[in-house]
């Protein structure tokens, strides 16, 4: 519940700053205005899933260092457990969004049920990075602070508070390097527009996310041999 309260608090702050103070509006397809508060809430839900995994990963092994020295513990499951908790919080946040949308805007389209599939590539990507950061964080104790700064930068460099179309055309291709960008755009597509994402692009994203997860697990297994020496 603390994570949900934090998300709602930050959402209210962002809506006030961007929607009330700066008078921001969300325009797509030429003339369609979307509810700004609900639109950025979708972006925050997706970003929170990613940030929850990466933000806590550098401290995972350190927080369970006792098991390294005392028992043969399958540390590979720690990022999986972290992802499971983040997914559960993601589903709770999604339910809150559906309730808010139904009460104050309109009944969400049936395509909203596709959101868990839309974020699957991002979940795989986050899992792979979590394995890598969990291992590196064991050796580099200050890594967590650096990851926090990078996540803050990523929040504003991702289309959470603005659509990709708002960027100059010369900068839009750079969004392809951001694993959050297309997932957030597809999330809004299924939840606000009632449209399906590009299935071919989604399939490629799943394969890419699976590749990152496999590489992350391999990296973790290669480097875990020295955990006991540094704990």
Q: What pTM was computed for the model?
A: 0.86
Domain count, the chain: 1
The per-residue pLDDT for range 45-78, each reduced to its tens digit, is 999 999 999 999 999 888 876 766 666 677 888 9
What is the rounded distance in angstroms from the CA atom of residue 229 to the CA atom of residue 231? 6
Burial group, residue 5, by CB count within 10 angstroms (0-12, 13-18, 19+):
exposed
Structural domain of residue 130, as residue ranges?
2-230
Backbone angles phi, psi at 197, to 5 degrees: -75, 170
Q: Quick one: which of 98, 14, 92 has its CA closest to 52?
A: 92
Backbone angles phi, psi at 28, to 5 degrees: -135, 160
Backbone angles phi, psi at 26, to 5 degrees: -110, 110
Q: Quick one: which of 45, 22, 24 has its CA closest to 35?
A: 24
108 secondary structure, DSSP code: P
The per-residue pLDDT for range 87-118, each reduced to its tens digit, is 999 998 888 888 888 777 778 888 888 888 99
Is 231's pLDDT higher than 90? no
């Amino acid at each position: 519940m603390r994570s949900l309260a934090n998300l709602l608090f930050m959402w209210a702050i962002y809506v006030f700053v961007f929607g009330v103070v700066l008078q921001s509006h969300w325009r797509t397809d030429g003339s369609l205005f979307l509810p700004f508060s609900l639109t950025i809430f979708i972006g925050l839900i997706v970003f929170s899933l990613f940030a929850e995994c990466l933000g806590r990963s550098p401290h995972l092994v350190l927080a369970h260092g006792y098991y390294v020295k005392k028992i043969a513990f399958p540390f590979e499951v720690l990022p999986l457990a972290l992802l499971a908790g983040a997914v559960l919080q993601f589903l709770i946040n999604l339910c809150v969004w559906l309730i808010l949308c139904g009460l104050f805007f309109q009944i969400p389209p049936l395509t909203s049920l596709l959101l868990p599939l839309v974020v699957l590539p991002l979940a795989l990507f986050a899992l792979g990075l979590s394995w890598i950061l969990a291992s590196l964080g064991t050796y580099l104790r200050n890594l967590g602070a650096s990851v926090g700064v990078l996540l803050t930068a990523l929040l504003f460099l991702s289309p959470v508070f603005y659509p990709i179309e708002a960027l100059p055309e010369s900068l839009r291709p750079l969004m392809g390097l951001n694993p959050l960008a297309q997932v957030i755009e597809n999330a809004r597509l299924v939840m606000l527009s009632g449209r399906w994402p590009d299935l071919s692009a989604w399939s490629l994203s799943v394969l890419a996310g699976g590749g990152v997860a496999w590489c992350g697990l391999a990296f973790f297994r290669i480097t875990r041999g020295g955990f006991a020496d540094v704990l």
